[in-house]
Amino acid sequence: MSRQDTFRVIKDQLLIKLPPPAPHDVLHDKKLALLACRNLPLSFDLKELRGPKISDMWLERLIEAARVLQLNETEWYFVEDEDRGPFSPRNEVEALHALELNVRGLLLNIAAEPESPLFTLHKMVQDRLNGLKGDSTLRSKNVSPTDVQLANWAAEQGIRSMIYAAEFEGYGRGAAASTDLQTGDLVIEIPQEALISEDLAIESNMGPAFRETPELTGETMVLLWSMRERHDEKSKFAAYFAALPETFHTGLGFGIGGLKELEGTLVADEIVQAREHIRYQYDSLFPALSRKYPEIFPENYFTWEYFLWACQLWYSYGIKVKFPRGTIQTCLVPMASLLNHSIYPHVTHFSRINDSNNTLQLFAVRQCRAGEQCFLSYGSLPNSELLTFYGFVVKDNPYDIIPIDLDLPDEDPKQVELIQKYDVLSYHMVRGFHPLPTKLVAALRVACMEEDEIASFKEDPRTVMISQRNERDVYESLLSTFDSLLEPLEQQDDSSPEETEGTDLSDWDVLLAKQYKEGQRRILESVKNLCISELSSL
């Protein structure tokens, strides 16, 4: 999209022009329809707002339109008729960030007068971004010698960094801002040569062996390269490897105790399957490669334990980067590797090498004060994924969704007609601490209909209750679903995850499993309570 598309200056008219949904966006038509239904335009005229005062209503409508444009499919599912947002932390940051960029672009490209409402608007959007909830964190220990070496090495590589390694209570090591960062400020700039990518692996002396092994993907090549390189004290990346953890505590490394604690939960199956997949991959490569190329793949560096370490490293530290020639590669990005995840991040977007100076640049989308922990968003990830691949969980994670699949009736033509007319879905979701989705209740109402109701009911099941009996069936069936999901989550002992913290480090997996289960339990209890209160009001 060109600059001209995002804004337009017409004589006496200054338009904030929001980019329409991309043609490949699966929600393209739905977003346009929702905007139309809410009477939200894509162009907002600042002309009506002469003087520095921008009305709250005008700003709210602009932000609401930006939120709709940034919706993803899961967020879309949860949008209710009267719901104006915020729809999710991700959506809110993206919407405000897109607006901020748009207004900043306008300010840079036109000679706006100091009293122009554009300045006021820019400030208001920035204030909204800075006012978003954040994870407050306390710095505990000082920087370790390996972290100092890492920072010195990074500077030698031409990495410009506004962050440094620091320990934070409850997070371990993270990145602290070395200066006050404002929206749009550079956080880190990394020259392309300082990235650890497939190209590096192929260009190394392992390249010929890689090329003779057609079953290897680029990602596996660089993973194998990192297994050997981490032991090489003369490696260009020695300081980077030295600053990495000796062991990773992710779901992939769970022992029997942790897996037992997770028994009966879906995440236990995910972990077992992911591990089996990795083990299969390892067995299909080793010891065969070590025998064929003993110099390149020495047996002592290519053990199963080291392979698992490298998988954990790449899954939890790897970042997808788009290179100037258009390829997308997962890379290890020195210094950016220090950034911990938050659902209220300071940095959200960075994926493309800037081809004007061949660097990867990370910018702050909102303020981070000097000394505060600077966070990245790893994505809208549920706790099951965070636990399996990253080894932590987020308390009351808004992206923890419980899927609910329904078998919708398909025999009675009248019922089928109702399903089609009101777009009743068979795939649903619930999330904790929010009302039950109207779409889910509507689908269950239709699914629980009895013969006489099918013949007589002609209303919209999203807004009209079918009968008391039907309503009772709806909430009782939900209640029994949630009860069955809760069963494996009941704590086997009396200690809460907080109480067990710090007791025995070797039980890290059991502790993490407990934290995960506690989060799932809280979600299920919250939706269960909604059903109970609906039933008692009948």
The token pair that represents 108 in the structure block: 């840079």
38 Cβ contact partners less than 8 Å away, ≥ 6 residues apart: 64, 68
HSE, side-chain direction, 13 A CA sphere, residue 280: 6
CA-wise closest residue to 178 among 377, 361, 372:
372
The token pair that represents 237 in the structure block: 């990346």
CB 308 within 8 A of CB 345: no
Q: Which is nearer to ligand SAM, 245 or 488 (CB)?
A: 245
Query: How many residues at the interface with ligand SAM, by CB under 6 A?
Result: 15
* DSSP secondary structure string for all residues of 408-452: ---S-HHHHHHHHHTT--SEEEEETTSPPPHHHHHHHHHHT--HH
**Which segment (27-35, 166-174, 501-509, 520-528) binds ligand SAM by CB under 6 A?**
166-174
Residue 58 CB, shortest distance to ligand SAM, in Å, is 36
**Which segment (198-206, 210-218, 225-233, 387-395) binds ligand SAM by CB under 6 A?**
387-395
**Which segment (37-45, 50-58, 113-121, 165-173) binds ligand SAM by CB under 6 A?**
165-173
**Which segment (123-131, 277-285, 359-367, 386-394) binds ligand SAM by CB under 6 A?**
386-394
CA dist list (Å): 281 to 278, 286, 517: 5, 9, 30
Spatial separation of the C-alpha atoms in residues 138 and 169, rounded to whole Å: 6
Spatial separation of the C-alpha atoms in residues 49 and 43, rounded to whole Å: 14
Residue 233 CB, shortest distance to ligand SAM, in Å, is 20
The amino acid at residue 435 is P
Q: CA 227 from chain center: how many Å?
A: 28
Q: Which is nearer to ligand SAM, 118 or 387 (CB)?
A: 387
CB 525 within 8 A of CB 489: no
Q: Which is nearer to ligand SAM, 334 or 432 (CB)?
A: 334
Count Cβ atoms within 10 A of the Cβ of residue 448 and give its class: 0-12 exposed, 13-18 middle, 19 or more buried. Answer: buried
Using CB under 6 A as the criterion, what x/- string covers residues 439-478 for binding ligand SAM? ----------------------------------------
Using CB under 6 A as the criterion, what x/- string covers residues 394-423 for binding ligand SAM? ------------------------------
Q: Which is nearer to ligand SAM, 338 or 466 (CB)?
A: 338
CB 515 within 8 A of CB 499: no
Residue 131 CB, shortest distance to ligand SAM, in Å, is 21
104 phi, psi to nearest 5 deg: -60, -40
> Interface residues for ligand SAM in 169-188 (CB under 6 A)?
171-174
Residue 141 CB, shortest distance to ligand SAM, in Å, is 12
Residue least distant from ligand SAM (Cβ)? 173
CB 264 within 8 A of CB 400: no
Spatial separation of the C-alpha atoms in residues 40 and 441, rounded to whole Å: 28
> Interface residues for ligand SAM in 323-352 (CB under 6 A)?
337-342
Task: Provide the H-helix boundaries in 368-408.
Answer: 383-385
The token pair that represents 284 in the structure block: 């299909």
The token pair that represents 220 in the structure block: 């596996």
Residue 396 CB, shortest distance to ligand SAM, in Å, is 13
Residue 307 CB, shortest distance to ligand SAM, in Å, is 18
Q: Which is nearer to ligand SAM, 332 or 419 (CB)?
A: 332
Residue 80 CB, shortest distance to ligand SAM, in Å, is 30
Q: 51: how many CB neighbours lie within 10 A of its CB?
A: 9
**Which segment (1-9, 289-297, 390-398, 511-519) binds ligand SAM by CB under 6 A?**
390-398
> Interface residues for ligand SAM in 11-50 (CB under 6 A)?
none
Q: Which is nearer to ligand SAM, 391 or 461 (CB)?
A: 391
Among 126, 183, 316, 470, binds ligand SAM (CB under 6 A): 316
Among 44, 240, 297, 392, binds ligand SAM (CB under 6 A): 392
Cα angle 407, 412, 415 (rounded to 5 degrees) comes to: 70
257 phi, psi to nearest 5 deg: -60, -45
HSE, side-chain direction, 13 A CA sphere, residue 57: 2
- Binding flag, residue 390, ligand SAM (CB under 6 A): yes
Residue 484 CB, shortest distance to ligand SAM, in Å, is 30
Residue 411 CB, shortest distance to ligand SAM, in Å, is 49
Residue 143 CB, shortest distance to ligand SAM, in Å, is 12
Residues at the site binding ligand SAM, with contacts judged by CB under 6 A = 171-174, 316-317, 337-342, 390-392
